[in-house]
Structure 1
Amino acid sequence: MNGGAGGAAAERAQSEVLGTVLLLGLTVAVVGTTVALGGAALDDSQQTADLQRVEGAMTQLDSKASLVAHGGSPSQRARVDVGRGADLRVDEDAGWLEIEVSGGANGTYTNRTSLGAIVYERGGETVAYQGGGVWRSTGGRSEMVSPPEFHYRGTDGPETLTLPLVTIEKGSAGLSETVQISESATDARPVFPNADYGNPLADSNVTVEITVQSEYADAWGRFFESRTSASVTDLTDDRVRIELRTATVHPTLSASVSATGRAELRMGDIDWLYADSYNSTNGTYSSQPPGENASVQTRGEFALTRGGGGNTERIKIRGNLTAESFNIPPGQSDKLNVTNKSTETAFDELAPVEGGIRQRIAGVRNRSLADTAPKQSTGIDLSGDETAVIDETTYVDGDVSLSDRATLSVTDGATLHVAGELTGDGSESRIELDTSSGNITVLVDEAVDLSGNNTIRAAGNGRATLYVDDSISLRDTAAVTTVNDTRIDIHNTGRIDLTGSVNIAADRDVASNLWLYSSGDDVDMEGGQNDAERIRFTGVFYAPQSEVTLKDRMEINGSFTFRRFSFEDGYIEIHYDEALRTRRPFNGETVPVVSYLHVSRHGVVVESG
């Protein structure tokens, strides 16, 4: 018995020792694994922190290199904390940018500029300063940290692309954590324009292609795509081609309403919308039964979402609805009635109109009427029953203002250039554009502001053109109209505000007789609270760069094109004029997109400081 008990005790002792050994072994293994994993995690965290720190340092280096490259300083120093296991170097052969201009009378012009780069690398990831920008590459994909010096589409002149390339040259000393950036012995030089081709590009009818070879090519491509209307093609993993549209022809007007931007079309803020069609060649809208050829389209999402449908009572489209996608909340689909087809599809973004508008305004300004006009004036101020007639080309070095039944008539094919504002207030003042003896052109350098029931009216079976290089504001019952068989084209570069029972309309609902183009950022239209006070628009409103807000009641005959639509309690009728289906903006003429191109090379020398 004692022997058995002793044997059992011995076995228990051996088991306890074995268990202790196993427990210690497991503990050591767990601790070792934890240390290994923790060490790897710490390394990853340290690498991420180092890369983020270097991104900031490279951005500082970017600003200092720009200062030297553009003559602001002969030299600058920047510090880049390299850290453990990392490399900082100058690579003169890192990438190039090639510009090719073709299609003109002088054949094809090609220039390739080596970019070079300052490269920080750790663990297979890189951060680099190249071409005036900072880029990062991770796992085969690159992204932009800060953009290169790149300027596109100025708002105070023709659309211009300016690309000053900062190129990197390697100095005599390798890099340390203190980097010195100095002027290159080679002076800055222009790449374009040159002896073969110049500006404006539209005069040469050329195609411009920019090709970038770089480890960060996909980020370069996305950058160009986001900043321009260019077509970007990935040629290889490290090469992209950017084709700039120097000119374009705008498409035919096949839609009643077209939202050309990527933002969603939020219909939940509409109370009531009705869209149908008519054909002005067959008479006025009211003389015909409602047509089924309306078309509402958006490049983004068609969304009936606000508050599960918002205040929407009904949206009826007698025709087609096209969107990239639809968002109709459950239980709300009965509020939307499309008689033909609802289609999910994408369509191309429209080219901007700014170049076309600026080109036409420049055509008047280039006549230098301040020096050459046979009639000069320091200002025109009419009130009461006063009348003035402009029957020869006139330059007004000041404002034109009318009030209380005054009349200003422009006739006999005259051109009127107003260096100031054009205003009308009070009641029953009129600006008459009489085209019976020749087409009329009016350029207003500053704002056009009409209130009360003052009007601008075109008549005479010819064509009148009004250029406004600033804002347009119409309030109360102010109007811009054109009689039957007379056309008016309005070109505007600033904000547009239409408030009250405003009437912008072509007689007899012939929408093709009134064209309103705008490159301004914003258009606000606010009608009244009942049908008698609604805004009435008959014509073509073509503003694919602009955002429009439609509030309260309005009736639209013709076609509306904007980048983005917003609505506030809208009660909106839209009647598409089918006669527009074959009509193009700007009469189908080619209009510039990029008018001016400037590319230059600015070298800097980089070495240890």
Structure 2
Amino acid sequence: MIDRSRTQRPDSSPTNTDRGVSEVLGFILVFSIIFLSVGLLYTVGFQAMNDYQETEQLNNAERAMESLTDNFNDVLRYGGVNDRYGELTMREGTIAVDEGGTTVNIEVGDNGESIEERDNDLFNAYGEDGTIDLGEFSYTAHGDTIAYEGGGLVRADEDRSEWSTDLKQPQIRCEEGSAASITLASVTADDQSINPSDSTGVTMTEINRDTKVYDNDEVTVQVEDDTEYEAAWESMVGSNGFDNEDNSLEGTCEADGDIVITLVEVGFEY
């Protein structure tokens, strides 16, 4: 007869080796989770911080360019002011002057006659094709551009034809019961650019000023469709009393008095 009470059963309790393996695996698992979490937080946090810095830099540049625009436009508003100086404090990006820029034509009267056809000897800023190249003074960083053009200020992303907006209106006014007024700046300067590392002083100087008063009741500002700031100019030629049907690049003013047009050629130094 077998004494079952004395039968030996396998010892199922964990050995020291089993416990050691479990502890190592647990340590590896916990360490991996911590490592991945830190890496994820670093990547996301670094990208968020970088995006924040870029946004702040562009917002600061926008405010600085708005201040410069107000300052520069004293040259357009007042005939006795020949130059204006301002500073841009930027550690990154590119400051540039471009003599090309947006092309504009101005027509006076309901027959669509260009002012170049009327006064070719007066408006020296007009080109041979009967239009005027406004040129631009711009700041570009991280793909975005903020540009002073024609006396207005615009901002656009890297694909300028897809998105742009006006920040400051040019000196274009059409008010009921008074004369219409159009004053535009045209940049005459060699194309140049710099990458500032600190504060950069910029001077805009009047080179030539032409003013003409027309005894007509209608004036149209036409912007060529190859402008890099289409949406911004659609807004600008449809503001301040001008009407642009279907949000086009053509704004018309039906004035009750005379039409005063001033073109100011300007240069930039920095």
TM-score (norm 1): 0.36
Cα distance change, pair 226–101 in 1 and its aligned pair in 2 (3 A): closer
Contact 2:154–2:165 under 8 Å retained in 1: yes
Instruction: Spell out the pairing of 1:351-390 with structure 2 (5 A cutoff).
Output: none
Q: Which amino acid aligns with 1:221?
A: E
Q: Distance in 1 between matches of 2:166 and 2:191?
A: 29
Partner SS for 2:215: coil
User: Which of these residues, 227, 236, 252, is aligned with residue 243 of structure 1?
Assistant: 252
Q: Which amino acid aligns with 2:165?
A: E
Q: Distance in 2 between matches of 1:171 and 1:64?
A: 22
Instruction: Spell out the pairing of 1:206-285 with structure 2 (5 A cutoff).
Output: 208-213=219-224, 214-234=227-247, 240-244=249-253, 246=254
Q: Which amino acid aligns with 1:242?
A: G
For residues 340-371 of structure 1, the C-alpha deviation after alignment (integer angstroms, 9 at most, x for no partner) is: xxxxxxxxxxxxxxxxxxxxxxxxxxxxxxxx
Instruction: Spell out the pairing of 1:362-511 with structure 2 (5 A cutoff).
Output: none
* Structure 1 position 12 matched with structure 2 position 19: yes
Aligned to 1:199: 215
Cα distance change, pair 161–8 in 1 and its aligned pair in 2 (3 A): farther
Which structure's relative contact order is higher, taking Cα pairs within 8 Å and 6+ residues apart?
A: 2
For residues 34-66 of structure 1, the C-alpha deviation after alignment (integer angstroms, 9 at most, x for no partner) is: 111111111211111111111121122112322
List alignment gaps of at least 5 residues for structure 2. Answer: 1-7, 117-129
Q: Which amino acid aligns with 1:188?
A: R
Cα distance change, pair 28–594 in 1 and its aligned pair in 2 (3 A): farther
Aligned to 2:98: 91
Distance apart, 1:184 and its partner CA: 4.0
Instruction: Spell out the pairing of 1:518-533 with structure 2 (5 A cutoff).
Output: none
Contact 1:142–1:219 under 8 Å retained in 2: yes
Contact 2:109–2:216 under 8 Å retained in 1: no
Q: Sequence identity, in percent? A: 22
Aligned to 1:189: 210
Distance apart, 1:83 and its partner CA: 2.6
Cα distance change, pair 232–118 in 1 and its aligned pair in 2 (3 A): farther
Aligned to 1:293: none
Q: Distance in 2 between matches of 1:92 and 1:229?
A: 27
Which has the larger share of helix?
Answer: 2
Which has the larger share of strand?
Answer: 1
Q: Distance in 2 between matches of 1:14 and 1:100?
A: 88
Instruction: Spell out the pairing of 1:16-415 with structure 2 (5 A cutoff).
Output: 16-69=23-76, 70-84=78-92, 86-101=93-108, 103-104=110-111, 108-109=113-114, 111-138=130-157, 140-153=162-175, 158-170=177-189, 174-175=193-194, 176=196, 177-185=199-207, 187-190=208-211, 193=213, 198-201=214-217, 208-213=219-224, 214-234=227-247, 240-244=249-253, 246=254
Q: Distance in 2 between matches of 1:168 and 1:16?
A: 74
Contact 1:132–1:149 under 8 Å retained in 2: yes
Q: Which amino acid aligns with 2:85?
A: R
Aligned to 2:120: none
List alignment gaps of at least 5 residues for structure 1. Answer: 202-206, 247-592
Q: Which amino acid aligns with 2:220?
A: E
Cα distance change, pair 49–136 in 1 and its aligned pair in 2 (3 A): same
Q: Distance in 1 between matches of 2:63 and 2:186?
A: 20
Aligned to 1:599: 261
Contact 2:108–2:216 under 8 Å retained in 1: no
Distance apart, 1:234 and its partner CA: 4.8
The alignment of Structure 1 onto Structure 2 pairs a total of residues equal to: 239
Q: Distance in 2 between matches of 1:73 and 1:100?
A: 28
Contact 2:210–2:262 under 8 Å retained in 1: yes
